Amino acid sequence: MSQFARWTGILKLLTVSGLLLLPLATFAQRPISIPEEIEWTWEVRPSHVDAKLPNVLLLGDSISRNYFPQVEKDLSGVANVYLMASSTCVGDPRLPSQIAEFARMEGVHFSVVHFNNGMHGWGYTEEQYRNGFPRFLNGVKALGDKKGVLIWASTTPVQTDEAGGATNSRIEARNEIALKMVKSRGIVVDDQHRLMMSHEDLHEDRVHFSPKGAAIQGDQAAAIIRSILVKGD
């Protein structure tokens, strides 16, 4: 075999190997889904939608689901209040598609979207959370109308840390990651973490707050939403 033929064969082998390895490298960079043992979605729409009122969405997890009734009560006659709560979290590539599916199903645009999905996804690193947050924001932004306003709610503290799960140090780290991104985009902040740090005695379990605590959360969320709707009039 000539020297030229030998080098040609080597180059072909390297080229083929590169083509075979490229999809693997690309795949390794893609976000992965880490399912939880129990996954759920909880959606609530107004029983009677008033077409004259703006539409508001609470997008979150079981924390948002707990204070949703208080927000709905506080904004009665002011807005049509919807809820999409899910165990799918920031970092999970399925979340934006689930949000888009909810939007198609409801077929409405929201004047205000109050959002947080921070109490799940502890199988993801903080770096994966950071990488997933822009995708989450894009999915949330698509829910609003042209003048729609986004409100990010910080993740609330837990009563006790759980090994391999939610800990207050990880919650604070993720809140810091999210806060930088939402502030850079001019998104309104509802600091639920700071609020409930003053009411840690109202935990009813390790993660959730009692009805009294949930009412305090809902009152703050509703007050911020109301102030935005008044400005938009």
- Give residue 218's pLDDT: 98
How many other CB atoms are found less than 10 A from the CB of residue 139? 19
pLDDT at 99: 94
Looking at residue 6, what is its pLDDT? 52
Q: Name the residue with tokens 């083509």.
A: 19
pLDDT at 13: 44
The pLDDT of residue 147 is 83
d(CA 129, CA 70): 29
CATH of 41-232, one of 3.40.640.10, 3.40.50.150, 3.40.50.1110, 2.60.120.10: 3.40.50.1110
Domain boundaries defined on the chain? 1-30, 41-232
Cβ neighbours, 10 Å, residue 230: 9
Is the CB of residue 126 less than 8 Å from the CB of residue 90?
Answer: no
> Which pLDDT score, from 0 to 100, does residue 37 have?
80
| pLDDT of 32 | 81
Tokens of 226: 């109301």
- Amino acid 231 reads K
Q: Which amino acid is at 212?
A: K
Instruction: List per-residue pLDDT tens for the chain, 233 residues long.
Output: 555 445 445 444 444 444 444 444 434 456 788 877 888 899 999 999 999 999 999 999 999 999 999 999 999 999 999 999 999 989 898 999 999 999 999 999 999 999 999 999 999 999 999 999 999 999 999 998 778 999 999 999 999 999 888 999 999 999 999 999 999 999 999 999 999 999 999 999 999 999 999 999 999 999 999 999 998 76
| DSSP at 191 | -
* 4 phi/psi in degrees, rounded to 5: -65, -45
pTM: 0.85
Q: How far is CA 217 from CA 43, 63, 79, 214, in A?
A: 19, 9, 18, 5
Q: Which H helix or E strand runs over 110? A: strand 110-115
Q: Which residue has the tokens 């082998």?
A: 13
* CA–CA separation, 167 and 173 (whole Å): 10
Question: What is residue 57's three-state secondary structure?
Answer: strand
